[in-house]
Amino acid sequence: MENHNKVLMLMVCTFFFFSMPTYSIQNTLTSNQFIQYNDTLVSAAGTFEAGFFNFGDPQQYFGIWYNSISPRTYVWVANRNTPAQNSTVMMKLTDQGSLVILDGSKGIIWNSDSSRIGVEPVVQLLDSGNLVVKDANNTQNFLWESFDYPGDTLLAGMKLKSNSVTGPYRYLTSWRSPEDPATGEYSYRIDMHGYPQLVTEKGSRILYRGGSWNGILFTGVPWQRLYRIYNFSAVITDKEFSYQYENLDNSIITRVVLDQNGITQRLTWSDRTQIWEATSTRPADECDVYALCGINSNCNVTDFPNCKCLEGFVPKFQTKWKSSNWTDGCVRKTDLNCSHGDGFLKYTSMKLPDTSSSWFNKSLSLEKCKTMCLKNCSCTAYANLDIRNNGSGCLLWFDNIVDMRNFPDQGQDIYIRLSSSELVYTSDPKKNKRNSKHAGIIAGVIALIIGLTLIVMVTLAYRKKLGCIRNLFQKKDMEDGDSATIFDFSTITSATNHFSNRNKLGEGGFGPVYKGITVDGQEIAVKRLSKTSIQGIEEFKNEVKLMATLQHRNLVKLLGCSIRQDEKLLIYEFMPNRSLDYFIFDTIRSKLLDWTKRLEIIDGIARGLLYLHQDSRLRIIHRDLKTSNILLDIDMIPKISDFGLARSFMGDQAEANTNRVMGTYGYMPPEYAVHGSFSIKSDVFSFGVVVLEIISGKKNSGFCDPRRRLNLLGNAWRLWIEERPEELIADILYDEAICSEILRFIHVGLLCVQQLPEDRPNMSSVVLMLKGEKLLPKPSEPGFYAGKNNMNSAGSSINEATISLLEAR
Ligand SMILES: *[C@@H]1O[C@H](CO)[C@@H](O)[C@H](O)[C@H]1NC(C)=O
Ligand SMILES: *[C@@H]1O[C@H](CO)[C@@H](O)[C@H](O)[C@H]1NC(C)=O
Ligand SMILES: *[C@@H]1O[C@H](CO)[C@@H](O)[C@H](O)[C@H]1NC(C)=O
Ligand SMILES: *[C@@H]1O[C@H](CO)[C@@H](O)[C@H](O)[C@H]1NC(C)=O
Ligand SMILES: *[C@@H]1O[C@H](CO)[C@@H](O)[C@H](O)[C@H]1NC(C)=O
Ligand SMILES: *[C@@H]1O[C@H](CO)[C@@H](O)[C@H](O)[C@H]1NC(C)=O
Ligand SMILES: *[C@@H]1O[C@H](CO)[C@@H](O)[C@H](O)[C@H]1NC(C)=O
Ligand SMILES: *[C@@H]1O[C@H](CO)[C@@H](O)[C@H](O)[C@H]1NC(C)=O
Ligand SMILES: *[C@@H]1O[C@H](CO)[C@@H](O)[C@H](O)[C@H]1NC(C)=O
Ligand SMILES: *[C@@H]1O[C@H](CO)[C@@H](O)[C@H](O)[C@H]1NC(C)=O
């Protein structure tokens, strides 16, 4: 009888698909088997895992990620634009070999649309990260494969493809945000106008080019560093272009990803630092910005200004050009003669210009190529197509030269057409120099200033967050010329009016925080770590490293960092509404936060913390959660900040000890303040204090009941056991209608601040408890309850700053 019930239940649970549910670990699924919310497929060698996932919201996606890398890194998402609305969801393989995702109402929300029908189809997750559908007896011929539908990530073996008639059909598209895999606005693809080239586009506008294929790699990619590690290959036919890379060293885990800001990076996993390190980034510098210098010019990062007209060309509008507006580019000094008398000037080590108006022939020699160019009046340049074997093939450009730059060491030779009179002039360097010497000095000074400004602007536009991290962590490993810190120290100095007192937002434990406005008008918050600060270089690195890998709506966003000698700066997004303490402890401003807002704030903090503890897969303990570390954005959405003390945990290591007890009195749990032992439950304690402070409008550390010498926790506890907890609620919040809800929050707050860490709920329970979806147990006495056994003077301390106690050994 009981067995019968079980079977019945199973049938109910499995949506009446009469088959057995699957469980990890397996890598293959046959037709009519399915994967639901909790199941995963793991590839044979355990490299990749596939299954449903979410970002802390009810919405569910089916995707593929690295099985053993944390934070979890997704490489592919099936239903990126059509998430399931709740966890009642499944993926199954139909008899014909189509993969479908069904939601709770059994509606198909995603379909692999496989046109090929299988006889005995199975779906398998391969160690390459490819999810394939094939016939059980046929190992090679796939009916469908996820590699044919790239998302934002290019894995080894995946192909970018374009057709000369229909255009790109396999290409990367960015996510909308780090937690929204929906198709974003950027794409990374092969442009088939003229000779094929790799481009990143926003909509249909080119942002930057990887360049055209030179036989080894795309001309704008620093291939010399990479081609021993990866085998890049392209198949070029009249109709098609197909590009891929293979990993020659299997110990390297690598991927190319197009992020939501349109930045492309090759990232490799570092076991040593446990982060993804960028081995190449595009745009790498300002000269990578498409057509920065306008037409018929050249961009050189080592020159100021970066833009120069090609030899024999002059700015179209002199004054505009001199004021660094290069958009109109340059025009010829002397028109081409066309019929005869034209020649070419050779440029070496260049990234070849935009090939969208070009022509090519693989078998023509360079000499023939030149002849071809001279024959056509609109041909303006020629170069070899393939750089292997001293060069071969012919590439011709027509009309204007666009987006050319110096590319030291690995660039190519290109020959630019000039009228013979210009050639005579430019080939006489002495005459050239004498003419321009004097003006050159003055122009140089002006140009230097303009150039610096531009660099700042462009650098800010592309916040190369990872570049800074690279600097911090692997200076030694880096190659010359790669040392670009994102935020130039002097930029920040001027953005903050030289750290003037007027710009000061507040003083954190580790040093003052300033408001800054960058040249492009972006508001930033700059944390300046004082030289005497107890936040040493270790804490600084820690904060940068953690923040760079964390992304959540309720965590403050790190824009970058800057170091000069012993000056260390962290640059964050600016939060116009300051921090929570600014509101809740002020009699006037506290009126601006009604209960609905406060509830949302508490909920937001809980979600941020849950993400840190659990969903980020890094298991991070913040260790210094307090109202002044909870910043509020323009919509009063809370953002947890100040990660200087945060610690990341590997695996299941649930608690640790430290000799340096750091944190803030009033928010520290007893086991940490007294024994230096900390765990995720330390944060839960701090969270409980914050909740009670938000509800009462009183500071735990500052609150003092003169008669009983109780702190806020003690007072809350006393009111709780005397069954009049509503007296804790701040007067301005009190309202019969919502009283029971507030009481639930007090109850949860008290559960969080219990004396013993093991009694405190974890954050996932807290989130459910706050929603009223989980039964609340009876709380026991809070830690640091100064009522009877006054453990410590902490309760009466009014020191708000983060402190450091060096525990006696
Ligand atoms: C997923 O697993 C968890 C714990 O293993 C269980 O509590 C939960 O009910 C499962 N959810 C589904 C949808 O199967
Ligand atoms: C889950 O979503 C489906 C479709 O959106 C809906 O029909 C179903 O009722 C939902 N289930 C729950 C438990 O909310
Ligand atoms: C697949 O192979 C098995 C065993 O070799 C055989 O029994 C089965 O008929 C084959 N299926 C098909 C569709 O060829
Ligand atoms: C690189 O790939 C090409 C084409 O796929 C292949 O012919 C060649 O042998 C590969 N080279 C190496 C070193 O693996
Ligand atoms: C441009 O850059 C290269 C190398 O980066 C350098 O050698 C050269 O002098 C620079 N200036 C010009 C005008 O080419
Ligand atoms: C540069 O000139 C172009 C074209 O005249 C104009 O649209 C653009 O706004 C100018 N840029 C700046 C920064 O002034
Ligand atoms: C082109 O060059 C030839 C020979 O140098 C000369 O006779 C002719 O006038 C030139 N034509 C133009 C339009 O400059
Ligand atoms: C390329 O040049 C070769 C040699 O001159 C010629 O045979 C061939 O037709 C040309 N191909 C194209 C596409 O023009
Ligand atoms: C020169 O090349 C352009 C672009 O390929 C072409 O449209 C034009 O017909 C050519 N002119 C001559 C005279 O060959
Ligand atoms: C390339 O050019 C150099 C110098 O001209 C020559 O020694 C070498 O043999 C050439 N290599 C090939 C593959 O043609």
CATH of the domain at 765: 1.10.510.10
What whole-number distance in Å separates Cα of residue 784 and Cα of residue 667? 10
Give the number of the atom of ligand 9 that is nearest the alpha carbon of residue 359.
Answer: 5
Known catalytic residue at 135: no
Whose CA is closest to atom 5 on ligand 2?
85
Across the beta sheet with 121-125, the strand order is: 28-30, 121-125, 131-135, 142-145
Domain boundary among the residues 531, 557, 573 is at 573
Smallest CA separation from ligand 8 atom 11, residue: 361
pLDDT in tens, 719-751: 998 888 988 998 888 777 778 889 999 999 999
Residue minimizing CA distance to atom 1 of ligand 4:
231
pLDDT of residue 649: 63
Same domain, 40 and 127: yes
Look up the domain containing 296 and give its range. Answer: 288-427
103, 403, 624, 683: the active-site residue: 624
Does residue 314 share a domain with residue 173? Answer: no
Q: Which of 347, 345, 382 is nearest to 365 (CA)?
A: 382
- Res. 31 pLDDT band, cuts 50 70 90: confident
Please state, in angstroms and rounded to a whole number, the distance separating the CA atoms of residues 455 and 488: 9
Ligand nearest to the CA of 58: 2
Number of separate domains in the chain: 6
- Shared domain check, 306 and 183: no
pLDDT tens-digit map of 480-539: 322 224 678 888 888 888 888 778 887 765 678 888 888 877 888 888 876 655 556 666
Sign of CA dihedral 459, 460, 464, 468: positive
Q: Which of 86, 90, 109 to mutate to test the pocket of ligand 2 (most atoms within 8 A of CB)?
A: 86
Pairing mode of beta strands 313-315, 330-332? antiparallel
Looking at the structure, tell me whether residues 369 and 243 fall in a common domain. no
DSSP 743-771: HHHHHHHHHHTBSSGGGSPPHHHHHHHHH
- Ligand 1 center–CA 687 separation, angstroms: 27
261 and 301 within one domain: no
Q: Give the β-pairing of 297-299 and 404-406.
A: parallel
Residues 263 and 294 in one domain: no
Same domain, 476 and 546: yes
Does residue 345 sit in the same domain as residue 397? yes
What tokens were used for 689?
Answer: 């204090």
Say how many Å lie between the CA of residue 137 and the centre of ligand 3: 6
Distance 232 CA to ligand 5 centre (A): 28
**Same structural domain, 628 and 768:** yes
* Smallest CA separation from ligand 3 atom 10, residue: 137
Q: Are residues 229 and 314 in the same domain?
A: no
For 745-782, write each residue's pLDDT tens digit: 999 999 999 988 999 999 989 999 998 888 889 999 88
Domain boundary among 265, 284, 303: 284
Answer yes or no: is pLDDT of 13 > 60. no
What interhelical angle do 680-696 and 712-721 show, nearest 10?
80
The protein residue whose alpha carbon is closest to atom 5 in ligand 1 is: 38
Structure tokens at 670: 């007893």
636 and 711 co-located in one domain: yes
Same domain, 391 and 450: no
CATH number of the domain within which 102 lies: 2.90.10.10
Residue to probe by mutation, ligand 9, list 356, 360, 375, 376, most atoms within 8 Å of CB: 376
Among residues 547, 573, 599, the one where a domain terminates is 573
pLDDT value at residue 809: 26
| Structural contact between residues 804 and 534, judged by C-beta atoms closer than 8 angstroms | yes
Q: Assign 580 a pLDDT band (cuts: 50, 70, 90).
A: very high
Q: Any alpha helices (H) in 636-679, and if so which ranges?
A: 670-675
